Amino acid sequence: MKAAPEDRLESRNASGGVPLLKIVLVVAILAVAWVLWTTLQESEPVEMPVETVEEVVVQPAELPPAEDIPRPAAPATEGAAEGLEPAEPPLPPLEESDSLMREQLAAAGIGPELDQMEAEENLVQLGVALVDGFSRGVVQYKLLPVKRPTQPFGVEIKGQQLYMDPAGYARYDEYAEAIATLDTQALVGSFHRMRPLYEQAYAQLGMDPEAFDNAVIRMLDHVLQTPEIDEPIELTRKSVMYQYADPQLEQLSTVQKQLLRMGPQNLRRIKEQAAALRAGLLSQP
């Protein structure tokens, strides 16, 4: 079986930069991302000379139901008293929305990620394409212009058994911190502000625009359903490839496998933010 790139356990140092998991989680929580949506494709990933976790191919299951995100009530336009705050300016056309998207991300507390976004285009379209994939447990790696963490993935040997080295979880501490401290209220407001553009981009993917909110909730639910494992995770090795010894872990989705590598403490922080965002989105605006 061919190893999927999302299951690579790095065995050597790589160039620095924002790790894939940081981008994955930020997109999963914000429902936004950056790169041309027109590059979306199901092509095979390029193999890298690194040790990997072998991918177990699982037949796609029917997508679970997801709740609707209520829409804000339409503002009153008649009899409005003078001196009230003016209504928000109209949204730009989808193809001209990158500046607004960057502003929305900055208001939510996104920091270093914005640096690499300056050179990207069609951010809304990318985010929508990735959200659609994440809601199914799939990571669209062709859409992510990211680099691996600088520290290698650690494997611990105890007797005849191999384990994921818990010391490696610290690689993701700062990323979990960045996500946990995002402004949930700002994220909810941003979703409602940008929702028409999200739905327009979702329709361009051939999807029902009215179902985009369900994809967002399904994606957050997927994060929340990731198991938290406090003990070291056992691996098995086949040739130069690693796989999880527990078949249930091996059959997790690619998104959940990435989350699992953060370690239980970091995962709990991510899940707390996902739960808060979910509750905020589903509350009546």
Which residues are 244's β-sheet partners?
235
Report CA torsion sign: 267, 246, 141, 172.
positive
Tell me what pLDDT residue 26 has: 45
Name the phi and psi angles at 29, rounded to 5: -85, -40
Those residues whose C-beta lies under 8 Å from the C-beta of residue 83, and which sit 6 or more positions away, are none
Q: Taking Cα atoms as reference points, which of 42, 193, 58 lies closest to residue 129?
A: 42
Q: What is the pLDDT of residue 62?
A: 75
Please report where in the chains the tokens 């300016």 appear, as a residue. Answer: 89
pLDDT at 240: 66
Tens place of pLDDT for every residue, the chain, 285 residues? 334 444 444 333 333 334 444 444 444 444 333 322 222 222 233 233 334 444 444 444 578 889 999 998 765 444 444 555 556 789 999 999 999 988 888 888 877 655 566 667 888 998 899 899 999 988 776 776 555 556 666 788 888 889 999 988 988 888 888 888 889 999 999 999 999 999 999 999 999 999 999 999 999 999 999 999 999 899 988 776 778 899 999 999 988 988 898 999 999 999 999 999 999 999 976
For tokens 């402004």, what's the residue?
Answer: 183
Our separate counts of H helices and E strands in the chain read: 10, 5
Q: Do residues 258 and 6 make contact, with C-beta atoms less than 8 angstroms apart?
A: yes
> What's the full length of the chain, in residues?
285
